[in-house]
Structures are given as structure tokens and as C-alpha cells.
Amino acid sequence: MDIMPKSASNATPIPVRRALRKLGQDIRDARLRRRIPTELLAERASISRMTLYNVENGDASVSMGTYATILFVLGMIDRVGNLADASEDNLGRQLEEERLPKRIRLPRKKTAPPDAS
């Protein structure tokens, strides 16, 4: 009995699949607005037309580097660097604030031992 590995789409959470599907559609729309044919975008990104097709359909098995390269070719790479920007991480900041001490104590000053003269 052969055991089939889980496909990437089955292992990927539904919200992630939705986000990738939207990203793929946005990439497709950006390509069309720029009037760039699939052949040309694929060539500029050094990928196959099939990989570009997979990206535009939000395929989770395509590497993040490929998505980033396509965004670079489209002139949209600046947004990738801000995906996990700390200034936009509200939950992380709230958790960090919870860990802050309620009060801060200064370290005790050590007294010098008496001179043995």
C-alpha cells in the first residue's frame, strides 16, 4: 500500500491559501496593467511560464523568492521588505509590553571593606 504525501494545498491553512490566491491575482492584475505578456515576465524573472501561471493562481508550493523576484520585475519589491515590519506588529508589541517590569530597582551599592591598617 503506497502512502501519498500531503499536497501543499492540503497542508496549507485556508487563510494562507486565500492570501496567496489574492497575491497571485494582484500580481496578474499588475502584469496586465503594465501590458507585460506572460512570456516576457517569465523571462525577466528567470522562471518558466508554468511557474508564473502557478504564482498567478496563488500556488503555495512556489518559493517566496519567486514571488519576490516577480514583484521586483514589476517594480513592487519595496513592499516585500515590510511584510513583517516590527512597527506593524501590534500583537508582538502588546506581548512585549506585558513582559515589561512594573518597577525598576537600582542595583545596590557595594560597600568597601574597612581598611586593615
* 112 part of a folded domain: no
Nearby residues of 97 by Cβ (< 8 Å), 6 or more positions away: none
In which domain, by residue range, is 62 found? 8-74
**Is 90 part of any domain?**
no
Note whether residue 84 is domain-resident.
Answer: no
| pLDDT at 3 exceeding the cut of 60 | no
Residue 23 lies in a domain: yes
Residue 9: which pLDDT band, with cuts at 50, 70 and 90? low
Predicted confidence (pLDDT) per residue in 56-106, tens digit: 999 999 999 999 999 999 999 998 888 888 888 888 888 888 887 777 788
Residue 3 lies in a domain: no
How many distinct structural domains can be found in the chain? Answer: 1
Q: Which three cell numbers stand for residue 102?
A: 512594573
